[in-house]
Amino acid sequence: MADLKLIKTSTLRDLVEETEHRLDELREELERREDTERHHEIDRLDEHMKHAELSLTSIRDFISEMLADMRNKKAS
């Protein structure tokens, strides 16, 4: 970008306005995509409900991961 000191004040003002407008557009698009992703996850609620139940498998997996973690830390 050209040296900022050389840009006219009015041009600078326009650039700031344009950038702010662009930022708003980017934020809107980001929010729209994030909301779409959330709606998609809610559509999978039945599947999530299965993973939201207590299971001995997940406790067992956690304990084995925790022990592996401790062994790695001891080794290193």
Partner 1 sequence: MAETNIAAPGTTEEKQNWIQWLAVAGLVYLLICAVGMIGGGFKAAAGDQAKELFAFASNPFAGLVVGTVATALIQSSSTVTSIIVGLVAGGLPVEVAVPMVMGANIGTSITNTIVSLGHVREKSEFKRAFSAATVHDFFNLLSVVVFLPLEIAFGLLEGLGKMLAAPFYGGGSASMSGLNFIKAATAPVVDTAKGALLSLGDQIGGILLIVFGIGLIFLSIAYIGKLLKKLMVGKAKEIMHTAIGKGPVSGIFSGTLVTVLVQSSSTTTSLMVPLAGSGAFGLKQIYPFTLGANIGTCITALLAATAVTGNGEAALQIAFIHLTYNVLGVLLIFGLPFLRYLPVKAAEWLGATASENKMAALAYILCVFFIIPGVCLGITSLV
12 neighbors 4 (Cβ within 8 angstroms): yes
7 neighbors 15 (Cβ within 8 angstroms): yes
- Choosing from 3, 53, 75, 76, the residue that interacts with partner 1 (CB under 8 A) is 53
Which stretch in 9-17, 19-27, 53-61 sits in contact with partner 1 by CB under 8 A? 53-61
35 neighbors 43 (Cβ within 8 angstroms): no
Binding mask 33-52 for partner 1 (x = CB under 8 A): -xx-xxxxxxx-xx-xx-xx
Measured from the CB atom, the residue of 8 and 40 that comes closer to partner 1 is 40
Distance CA 62, CA 70 (A): 12
Q: Which of residues 1-30 bind partner 1 (CB under 8 A)?
A: none
